[in-house]
Amino acid sequence: MPEQDSPAVVWLRDDLRVSDNPALREAIDSGRPVLPVYVLDDSGGAGRPLGAASRWWLHHSLAALDASLQKRGSRLVLRHGDGAEEVADVMRRTGAGLLTMNRRYVRGEREQDDRARLAAEQAGAAVSDHTASLLHEPGEVLNGSGDRFAVFTPFFRALSGAGTPRDPLPAPAAIDGWTGEVHSVDLADLGLLPTKPDWSGGLADTWTPGEKGAHRRVDEFVQHRLAGYAAHRDEPAAEASSRLSPHLKFGEISPYQLWHRVQGADAPADVRMKFLTELGWRDFDYDLLDTHPDLDTVNVHRNFDAFPWAEVDDEVLAAWQQGRTGIPLVDAGMRQLWATGWMHNRVRMVTASFFIKNLRYDWRLGEQWFWDTLVDADPANNAAQWQWVAGSGADAAPYFRVFNPVLQAQKFDPAGEYIAEWVPELRPLDAKGRHEPWNAAAATDYPAPVVDLKRSRQAALDAYQRMRD
């Protein structure tokens, strides 16, 4: 096959965008016709299979990406199976002379990428990979002794002090797409969407997956909410959050694009840096995943292996999952999660603390539920945040720090607006009643608490002391 007809295959993964996509840009610049490929690999061999909410998002993100590629003269080839094997098959059948990809960081993903690289090189093709989803490669940001940081604040100081992140790449106006025949499965055949019952209506009402949706959300955040982000980000009713986490997780926008967009915004420097710190946490969590590849199942601090977790009561577990614990802020968060696939960050900490320290259930059970129900479920961030709350992770909150959900609601949702939005049984009550309905005179259909907050807190502290002893 003549070289000019030999395509450059772009293996897309968590980078479902055409702008600031180094792998796509290299394929275009190679002068070869471009063939973008996405492989759904849900075998578990290359990282955790996506949860149900993330699968819903992926379906719509792939549809949006294919439309964007076709508008520019290309198309998206879809495959289902082992990523390395499917990509090798595409390259063999098309006679591809170049494989480009953006790096991944889960251990199984890296091993799969190595297999794809070896197969391509053995077939005589060139291979390249790029940094695209993080501001740095794990292990690049080191302290003065040449070691990795164990605490976030000095890590971010070093990361942000290392220079301005590179400028994002523009979207290509046109792509010379490869037009030969190659097998591609239909998007519907990937089985990403829920069947009966279809529980995704709330997700569809809340989100617009895809690159356009990501940039619309960035514009809205920067123009209308960034100025109040630092002051109101902990208030779940304030809508101060960017809600960009799922767009970042699927790579519909890059951290480079977001960094420069926020840095160029008309907002005080301390406000802009407060938001950019959250991008730093993403990088920090991936550094942690790089050194602890079993982050979702193994305690970073192994002394927590001896922690005396309580035996799980299935009815209590279901009450937590469904937002029926009788603790208003916890229930509001869990219902928001089920309806929208997302939960406010402050409330995530409160619901996780309640699960780990008041119910004293193993953090891994809660992490698994969030993995299945969050549209932004991320292999580094989700596990690191649960371990942070548990006290078993890096830079973790101490175990004896127990979030009191009533006090948290009184401080961050003083009028009970967030509670009223997601727990309609409590709307008729005043703020005090919404925070502590067990003390309200008016009768409601709201359940009694599944656990006494004061006694369960003390039981958690006693269990922590037994672990230390």
309 is catalytic: yes
Catalytic residue among 85, 137, 140, 278: 278
259 is catalytic: no
Read off the amino acid at residue 451.
V
Q: How far is CA 242 from CA 22, 80, 141, in A?
A: 25, 33, 26
Q: Which are the contacts of 368, defined by CB distance < 8 A and separation ≥ 6?
A: none
Q: Residue 159: how many CA atoms within 13 Å on its side-chain side?
A: 27
21 is catalytic: no
Catalytic residue among 11, 281, 371, 388: 281
Catalytic residue among 11, 320, 363, 388: 363
Buried b (16+ CB within 10 A) or exposed e, 46-69: bbbebbbbbbbbbbbbbbbbbebb
| CB-neighbour burial class of residue 134 (10 A; exposed 0-12, middle 13-18, buried 19+) | buried
In this structure, what DSSP letter does residue 188 have? G
Catalytic residue among 320, 371, 386, 422: 386
Crossing angle of helices 152-160 and 269-291, in 10° steps, is 110
Catalytic residue among 85, 137, 199, 345: 345
Catalytic residue among 309, 338, 425, 436: 309
- Tell me if 103 sits within 8 A of 131, measured CB to CB: yes
Q: Which are the contacts of 212, defined by CB distance < 8 A and separation ≥ 6?
A: 64, 68
363 is catalytic: yes
| Ramachandran assignment for 323, one of left (phi > 0), alpha (psi -120 to 50 degrees), beta (any other) | left
85 is catalytic: no
Is omega for the bond preceding 414 within 30 degrees of 0, making it cis?
A: no
Measuring CA to CA, which residue among 131, 152, 149 is closest to residue 139? 149
Catalytic residues: 278, 281, 309, 345, 363, 386
